[in-house]
Amino acid sequence: MCEKGFEFLDHTADVLVKAWGRTLPEALSEIARGMFEIMTDTSKIEPTTAIEIEVCGFDLENLVYRWLEELLYYHDSKNLVFGEFQVVSIEEKSSGDNEKSICLKAIVKGEVFNRDKHESRTVVKAVTYHNMSVIRENDKWTITVVFDI
């Protein structure tokens, strides 16, 4: 198995993606690439538009959910598809009332979806918590997410 990547696993009705990397930022980048690969061929996406993303979650699963949900928002509202995902930082933050959150900053690159250029595959309706996992084991991070199609 490669140091980083993703694969589609069998699921009865939706799409199950398993992504991995040596670091959490690599695994987060790969799960995002896997989500966009459901929708189109990411190798044909040119990095003409860059967007800064910043999301926080109350735990790692919530961070993954918020990360993917934010990317899906840009796809749904701005018709953007992304092929490059650079997670710049992940850090724990505390609010004034002693609540902690995990925050991610990233730069994603892509372009407006063009039917003449990009293959139209399956529409991703939503990110789900069903069977979601974020695991660190033997110096490797693995993220599993089911996408509602």
Q: Where are the alpha helices (DSSP H) in 1-149?
A: 24-39, 60-78
The answer to whether the annotation marks 41 as part of a ligand binding site is no
The answer to whether the annotation marks 148 as part of a ligand binding site is yes
The Cα-based distances of 13 to 43, 59, 145 in angstroms read 26, 27, 13
Residues in the chain, how many?
149
The answer to whether the annotation marks 102 as part of a ligand binding site is no
Q: Of 36, 41, 120, 122, give the one whose Cα is nearest residue 82.
A: 36
Binding residues for Ca(2+): 14, 148-149
Return binding residues. Answer: 14, 148-149
